[in-house]
Structure 1
Amino acid sequence: MTTIEHHDLHHDFPEMSEQIRSLKMKDRHFARLFDEYHELDREVRKIEEDVEPTSDEHLEQLKMRRVHLKDDLYTMLKQA
């Protein structure tokens, strides 16, 4: 059995935990992207764990969207 990696922002950027908390409370755009990112991550994990079947193409599209969201969120965190 393979272990599915979690891509939670607090896990990936532990040094930015305070900025993440602050932006989630102060910046509605960041909060919306943060929620969208984590919903997408949950969906990808369900597919990877074979809980929710889908096509490889759809899974790759979801992963690409997750990467783009993470990049946007990281850029916002660096500027905070």
Structure 2
Amino acid sequence: MSHTPHQLPDEFPEFAKTLQALKLVDAHFAKLVDQYDEANQKIHLAETNVTPMDDIGIIELRKERLALKDDIAARLKLAAEA
């Protein structure tokens, strides 16, 4: 099994503990993380041609992943400041 790039612990190593803690206590945050992971997995499978997808589909998934990442990042920063 290959390593899927852009996993959240790799993207936010400085927030690894906060990421795990928020997933346990904040259901909405956990849902965002799940959505990010799902989009990230779909992108990885498309980019490695395991599940081929047209360029437009990949671009839309990348936009979705980026929006989720931005939301997750903002929540992680707020939690770390609290």
- Normalised to the residue count of structure 1, the TM-score between the two structures is 0.92
> Does 1:72 find its partner at 2:48?
no
Give the counterpart letter for 1:78 in structure 2.
K
Aligned equivalents of 1:69 and 1:27: distance in 2?
15
Aligned equivalents of 1:15 and 1:69: distance in 2?
18
Match runs of 1:1-80 below 5 Å: 6-80=5-79
Aligned equivalents of 2:61 and 2:30: distance in 1?
19
Deviations 1:14-33 (A, max 9, x none): 11001001100000000000
Deviations 1:28-59 (A, max 9, x none): 00000001100110000000000111110011
Give the counterpart letter for 1:59 in structure 2.
I
In structure 1, list runs of 5 or more residues that go unmatched.
none
In structure 2, list runs of 5 or more residues that go unmatched.
none
The runs of at least 4 consecutive aligned structure 1 residues that moved more than 6 Å come to none
Q: Percent identity?
A: 36
- Normalised to the residue count of structure 2, the TM-score between the two structures is 0.90
Aligned equivalents of 2:20 and 2:53: distance in 1?
33
Aligned equivalents of 2:4 and 2:22: distance in 1?
25
The size of the alignment, in residue pairs, is: 77
